[in-house]
A and B are shown apart, each in its own frame.
Chain A
């Protein structure tokens, strides 16, 4: 929080650049007649205060209700449809996803080195709302915490395995899943390629996707004075029309992608956590147990949402970072330390070496890998970007663009590399050097626990791992509820509290409904499909960022 005393503030000329109506110090507000919340409906049904954007809330709620009913009622008809849509998208549009992601990386990296990096979010005199540690913990926990738990062991193993297997061609088409040209039979090359491919999917590209959305939203909200919703990014193109239907559609899409992305992940995460509990303690992974787990996660998320960003989300995220850091340190120290430490630099080099080929959008021979893995991941990150981006934006006021980009791009990438090297490297080392096949043979949701089982103190570390999976879900769920609430309240972040709690409950309810009725995977496919329109949104955001930054004053 930033405190302002009347005495200090009485003298307004002290920190103003001449002639600019300043947020806090110089910045360039957009002149619009739109008043935030002007389309909102405020009422108090049953004694519960609400303050909502009438159209965005109603349409989001209806679309969501319709989708849940249709997927549950017509599961057999709908599942292949979604699956087909997803396959078509990643198959035929992979060049668009991969090419788009490259644009985002080039833009965000480039901005670090331009004078535009000196622009401060919130105006030149704005001060950060959170400490570095709290800020960074929230960025990371919202962005990819849960995926690192799931894929940290399984993805390096998978790419290593397919790379070792070499290429297979049938009717002139590659049928193997190996990245690039594989590394048939060459163990160290296969490890190197497998790690490079994993790092590629968890490195700078996903963070560039988030950074574009977050930077665009932060800029147009804190510096330009527009509401904190997706539609604001379109202001440079649509002008005042963003307050009408085109804007409503963009916001409803953002709510949709966020809610279903979260609900499906919540469902799948409950499956992973119950699988872990069953592996460790023999708790049956029944539907009842999974439902109980989702209810428990939702209750904790409710508490966190009620406590707000500062006392709820930030604290949980910090707990998460500390625990994840301890787990990482433990694996590095107890696992093959030298293998991991030399691997860190080796795989980083390997990542850079393979980066041009891995990120090439056209004429790829490794169709299964580039479409089934890369394009799928990109679509998934992009469909999550409104949620993660908006949350990152909300907590990033007071940072300069350069500071922001380094914290959102470079540091998370390095942490991902270390994480993947430690967890994946330990697992690969177990398979390759120690001859322990258990990790490779286990299912995806158990590979992490199998890997830990081969290290000392596995009971403790596995319990921490399950705890981490669960708390990472809570931090995704609570920050997601805050984002959906802000969008459906027309960009107001001070709407009554019961609203945000409503969304947290809805997330849990949808996850339970889809878990019991089936259709989680179908909806994941649907959420991924939202990646296509959002790639366009992000490309627009790139334009908006450059245009918006160019007329901002820069700090010295």
Chain B
């Protein structure tokens, strides 16, 4: 049913991502789908990587690691932005088209009052794409 699953990841908060990663892995096994791990990085040096290319290397390593876990084909796709916090939702939507994904699996926090001011990424992505989106609560 699904051929390519896009999994947006924040490499600096891996523990928080675990439920989403597990769900993505199980779905990938079930449908025999490829999993594409996607990350947005700053163009300026950050905690994980000092350059977009360094970041892409980390993401590729992460994708390979995940392939060992669930045994499906994986790939990595990254985008660099001067303002990643603000651009992440659009970046995910763009990535869906860029890698031709038909399912998005992403971790999201529980709804809270602040969402009225700063909506969660999952909410925004789900409302601006026509592929299926699976939000995994933490």
Contacts and interface: CB of A to CB of B under 8 A. Distances in A.
A395 B78 CA distance: 19
B53 A23 contact: yes
B56 interface: yes
B43 interface: yes
A426 to B, nearest CB: 38
Most buried by B among A309, A496, A498: A309
B83 A3 contact: no
A240 to B, nearest CB: 16
A494 B82 contact: no
Contact of A4 (B44, B78, B85): B78
Interface residues of A, number: 49
Interface size class, chain B: 35 or more
A394 interface: yes
B78 to A, nearest CB: 6
B71 interface: no
Interface string A485-519: 00000011111111001000000000000000000
A342 interface: no
Interface stretch (A166-174, A224-232, A542-550): A224-232
A22 B53 contact: yes
Interface stretch (B1-9, B20-28, B111-119): B111-119
A228 B42 CA distance: 11
Given A3-B79, A6-B75, A225 B45 contact: yes
A29 B49 CA distance: 12
A491 B44 contact: yes
A5 B94 CA distance: 12
Q: Is the interface of A mostly helix, strand, loop or mixed?
A: loop
Contacts of B107: none
A492 B53 CA distance: 17
A493 B53 contact: no
B45 A308 contact: no
Interface in A79-120: none
A48 B114 contact: yes
B86 A497 contact: yes
Contacts of A1: 79-81, 87, 91, 94
A165 interface: no
B37 to A, nearest CB: 10
A258 B43 CA distance: 23
B85 A308 contact: yes
16 contacts: A3-B79, A4-B79, A6-B76, A10-B60, A29-B50, A36-B46, A36-B47, A36-B50, A123-B51, A129-B81, A221-B44, A226-B45, A228-B45, A306-B117, A491-B45, A494-B84
Given A4-B77, A221-B44, 15 more contacts: A1-B81, A1-B91, A3-B94, A4-B56, A6-B77, A24-B51, A29-B51, A48-B114, A225-B50, A227-B44, A311-B87, A492-B42, A492-B47, A493-B85, A501-B117
Give 3 nearest A-B pairs by CB, closest first.
A308-B86, A225-B50, A23-B51
